[in-house]
């Protein structure tokens, strides 16, 4: 049930990084200017986001990486970079950069099963015919960084998240050399012009937020 006075509803599916790093500032501006619109955001994997936009169950999707978007209108948004975070005393903290395969002999701090980044990392390790050694699983990035700082394990996180927490925690950020670690985020909709005006305004704001990211 929506709050009294709500006149519009926008459904958004997005990946982990978009939700944690980029959407908060955009949504703050949008909701100030649209106090009567309710925005419903859920974290999903990119293929699931595409299907939801295609079948009309969600208005706007933000996807990452190479994903098939047939029949959808797609607009560039931002870049999503994943990095390794370690405690300062961890052996991998000495690396200037690292391949994901080199991390798999170490214990990991991980997100919950329902997290899109968990599914992404699980698939990346499966492609190497390896299994990630989850030492502990936590519900959010701040908790993950605290566990990493305590040297319980290492973690793969969005770069912005990792660097923000590294300002107040003893963490080492190590770039991943894998091609998949740097991904383009894209906005996708079924038909921009067919969206209600208030939903188009959110698309416009997202597009404006991403201008210059790929130049």
Sign of the dihedral through C-alpha 189, 191, 192, 196: negative
CB neighbour list of residue 138: distance below 8 Å, 6 or more residues apart = 109, 110, 111, 112, 144, 147
CA distance 45 to 118: 10
Q: pLDDT (tens digit, 9 = 90+) per residue, 72-129?
A: 999 999 988 899 999 999 999 999 999 999 999 999 999 888 787 888 899 999 999 9
Contact 151, 144 (CB under 8 A): no
* Residues present in the chain in total: 215
Q: pLDDT (tens digit, 9 = 90+) per residue, 21-77?
A: 899 999 999 999 999 999 999 999 889 999 999 999 999 999 987 788 999 999 999
> Which pLDDT score is estimated for 119?
85
Q: How far is CA 16 from the centre of its chain?
A: 2
Vertex 196 angle, CA 192 and 200, to 5°: 45
Contact 26, 53 (CB under 8 A): no
| Whole-structure pTM value | 0.78
CB neighbour list of residue 100: distance below 8 Å, 6 or more residues apart = 124, 125, 128, 156, 176, 178, 181
Confidence band for 4, pLDDT divided at 50, 70 and 90? very low
Can you list the domains of the chain with their CATH numbers?
A: 8-78+182-212 (3.40.190.10), 81-181 (3.40.190.290)
Contact 65, 179 (CB under 8 A): no
Q: How far is CA 78 from the centre of its chain?
A: 11
**Mean pLDDT (the chain, rounded):** 92
Element (H, E) at 20: none
> Which pLDDT score is estimated for 49?
95
> Which pLDDT score is estimated for 212?
61
CA distance 170 to 157: 15
């Amino acid at each position: 049930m929506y709050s009294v006075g709500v006149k519009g509803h926008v459904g958004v599916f997005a990946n982990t990084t978009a939700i944690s790093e980029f959407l908060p500032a955009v949504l703050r501006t949008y909701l100030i200017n649209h106090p009567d619109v309710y925005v419903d955001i859920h974290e999903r994997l990119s293929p699931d986001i595409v299907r939801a936009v295609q079948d009309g169950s969600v208005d706007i999707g933000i996807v990452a990486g190479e994903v098939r978007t047939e029949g959808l209108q797609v607009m560039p948004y931002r870049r999503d970079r994943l990095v390794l975070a370690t405690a300062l005393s961890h052996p991998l903290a000495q690396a200037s950069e690292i391949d994901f395969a080199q991390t798999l002999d170490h214990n990991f701090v991980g997100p919950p099963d329902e997290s899109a980044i968990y599914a992404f990392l699980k698939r990346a390790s499966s492609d190497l015919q390896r299994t990630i050694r989850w030492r502990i699983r936590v519900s959010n990035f701040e908790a993950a960084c605290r566990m990493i700082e305590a040297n319980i394990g290492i973690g793969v996180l969005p770069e912005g998240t990792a660097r923000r927490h590294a300002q107040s925690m003893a963490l080492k950020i190590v770039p991943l050399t894998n091609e998949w670690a740097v991904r383009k985020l894209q906005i996708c909709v079924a038909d921009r012009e067919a969206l209600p005006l208030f939903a188009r305004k959110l698309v416009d704001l997202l597009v404006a937020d991403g201008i210059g990211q790929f130049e």
